[in-house]
Amino acid sequence: MANTLINIALPVVNEIIDDVLATGPSASYRDTFTSSDARDRLATFVLSRLPARYMTIAEECSLELPRNCYSAEQHRQIRQLVYQGIQKLLTRPISSTPDTLIPSTWFG
């Protein structure tokens, strides 16, 4: 029987991101984070600043992720990280093509 390693922090972070974007004061950043690239960058920003939380499950088991893997204080910290990530990503332009891959820069 094979086991699967699951990151249980990701669903919690995604849930908090959804909540912040849905209830946040500014519609302008909601529009920015509708793209999957921008949203993935935000989730990466938050996850890289959190302790990892993993669990193993048997492949036959139905997946019911524990939502209480973080304390209420940690949930507040995650929410704060989401706000910090939004501010950081909004001050830096999000482009789908890195500057190094633009053909006009290949030859100087």
pLDDT in tens, 93-103: 555 555 555 55
pTM recorded for the entire structure: 0.72
| CA–CA separation, 23 and 84 (whole Å) | 16
Tokens representing residue 106 in the block: 């290949």
Tokens representing residue 20 in the block: 């912040």
Q: What is the dihedral of CA 31, 37, 42, 47, to 10 degrees?
A: 150
Task: Look at residue 4 and give its three-state secondary structure.
Answer: strand
| CA–CA separation, 34 and 18 (whole Å) | 10
Crossing angle between the packed helical segments 9-23 and 72-91, to the nearest 10 degrees? 60
pLDDT in tens, 9-68: 898 999 999 999 888 766 667 778 888 899 999 999 999 999 888 888 776 555 566 667
